[in-house]
Amino acid sequence: MFLVDLLFPNRCLECNRIIHHNEVVCELCFDQIHFTHHHHSESNLLLEKCRLLFPIESAFALMQFEEESTSQKIIHQLKYGSREKIGKIIANWTLEKVDFNSMKIDLLATVPLHPKKEKERGYNQLHLFADSLSKELKISCDHTLIKRNFYKKAQAKKRREQRTFNENLFSINKKISNQHILLIDDVFTTGNTMSAVAWQILKEGNNKVSVLVMAMD
């Protein structure tokens, strides 16, 4: 490991300083990340947005996903840079900033990639993140509860067609009821994806849904 670090040193994604191989940004650049602090603030824009789309218990976004920001660079490296281990780093940040005990979660569930896309990428960017949380919180995580039914987004021209597509984008692989599910995704943008997943879970039984994302746009 020492020789690898010497020949191919890990560098901060923001300023290019050499950093420890288990880090993604240096301490100075870490301080520039725009964390939301939703659990310590009366204002929670993610919760407000979700409430417009589906019944929700609680919601938390770790970071703001701003154009050319450090958080954007981190998540892009996680998703497209073959740096799956960044998921564990983000999980550690999340554990420091979210009071999961107050949420009373029964199960963690990740929003899935289509199998074809996951094969192309080589991994699902959410799995190590969610598994790290699961291990520390001692809450089970299910990566197979939700199934993505389509590989590409529908090219719907009408609102009705788009709505029908969203309703059928995901399905639930097993019977589940009386559970408080924490849905995990990387970035919350319009909320269409999260809403489609949430409604499938809510329709299955007397379930409750909360949301955790790495960042919100």
The better pLDDT of the pair 103, 75 is held by 75
Confidence of residue 197 (pLDDT cuts 50, 70, 90): very high
In angstroms, the Cα distances linking 156 to 193, 199, 200 are 15, 20, 21
pLDDT in tens, 51-75: 999 999 999 999 999 888 999 999 9
Q: Poorest-confidence range of 79-93, 103-117, 159-173?
A: 159-173
The better pLDDT of the pair 204, 43 is held by 204
Checking if the pLDDT of 94 tops 60, the result is yes
Question: Which residues fall within 8 angstroms of residue 152, CB to CB, at 6 or more apart?
Answer: none
What is residue 187's predicted lDDT score, i.e. its pLDDT? 96
- Contact predicate 117/125, CB 8 Å: no
pLDDT in tens, 130-148: 999 999 999 999 999 999 9
Mean pLDDT computed over every residue of the chain: 88
- Got the DSSP string for the chain? -HHHHHHS--B-TTT--B--TT-SS-HHHHTTS-B--GGG-S--HHHHHHHTTS--S-EEEEEE--TT-HHHHHHHHHHHSS-TTHHHHHHHHHHHH--GGGG--SEEEEPPPPHHHHHHHSS-TTHHHHHHHHHHHT--EESSSEEE--SS-----SHHHHHHHHHHSEEESS---S-EEEEEEEEESSSHHHHHHHHHHHHHSS-EEEEEEEEE-
Checking if the pLDDT of 2 tops 60, the result is no
d(CA 157, CA 136): 45
What is residue 205's predicted lDDT score, i.e. its pLDDT? 85
Contacts 24+ apart (CB under 8 A), 154-159: none
What is residue 43's predicted lDDT score, i.e. its pLDDT? 77
Confidence of residue 166 (pLDDT cuts 50, 70, 90): low
Q: Poorest-confidence range of 15-19, 66-70, 90-94, 162-166?
A: 162-166
Domains annotated for the chain, with CATH where assigned, are 1-32 (no CATH), 35-216 (3.40.50)
Share of the chain above pLDDT 70, in %: 88
What is residue 158's predicted lDDT score, i.e. its pLDDT? 42
Residue range 98-123: average pLDDT? 91
What is residue 38's predicted lDDT score, i.e. its pLDDT? 74
Nearest to 98 by CA among 128, 57, 58: 58
What is residue 45's predicted lDDT score, i.e. its pLDDT? 93
Nearest to 13 by CA among 88, 86, 65: 86
Residue range 182-201: average pLDDT? 96
